[in-house]
Amino acid sequence: MASAAATWTFSANHTNAGYIRGQQVESRPNLSGTPIVFLIGENTSEQEAMETLAGREGWRFETCESAREFLARPRSFVPSCLILALSLPNGLEVQKQLARERAEVPIIMISTYADIATTVEAMKAGAVDFLLNPFSHAVLLDAIRESLERSRRTLDRQMELNDLRNSYESLTRRERQVMGLVVSGLLNKQVGGELGISEITVKAHRGQVMQKMKANSLADLVRKAAKLQPARPAVCFA
């Protein structure tokens, strides 16, 4: 009888690499690093005021003349956010482009005018907040703090996923087969039957899987497997 083994289809071949929405990057998030507040805007006096405000909070402040310049910069691996202060409707189009290409960076929209429909469109496109000039420093600071906290949580989840991927990569092919069948709900005897190995051998492989995946229970292993591959594992026959 042909043996069935669960095959996990996510990429797990990039040791010590970071991942942002499927894109490989060559660094690792630093949650304790100095947060960065980026600004794409046209008002010089506005830039100066925001730079002063960011400096008081201990944040780095960097300006870009355009979305192209921002996207050309290396990705940030510390909590960061982007303030987009461009005239509408061009600003909305820029926001949508940035949301597609740098989805990990929370965006705060600033405008001198906006109706309800425009505001709703910006929020649906992923803006953390939509501020209408004039606004107080306190309102802006609250929006930046919320954005940086979102960024921090995103980086934290990404670090956890990177660690899981590296742990999975350390498994042998047989251990991955055992893991796939175990988290699908099969007992050790059933796993052995599928793979054509003894129950004792399955237990040995299962122990290695638990150790390498740093799982303290079957439920924990299932949770980790779900994070690695939300889709149901495919089945191949050998």
User: How do residues 150-159 score in pLDDT, each as one tens digit?
Assistant: 999 999 988 8
Topology (CATH) of 4-16+170-237:
Arc Repressor Mutant, subunit A (1.10.10)
| 52-104 confidence digits (pLDDT tens) | 999 999 999 999 988 999 999 988 889 999 999 877 667 888 999 999 899 88
Q: Is there a contact between 175 and 8 (Cβ–Cβ < 8 Å)? A: no
In whole angstroms, give the CA distance from residue 171 to residue 173: 7
All residue ranges of the chain with pLDDT < 50 are: 1-26, 231-238
The CATH number assigned to the domain with range 36-163 reads 3.40.50.2300
Domain ranges of the chain: 4-16+170-237, 36-163
Q: Are 104 and 21 in contact (CB under 8 A)?
A: yes
d(CA 177, CA 74): 38
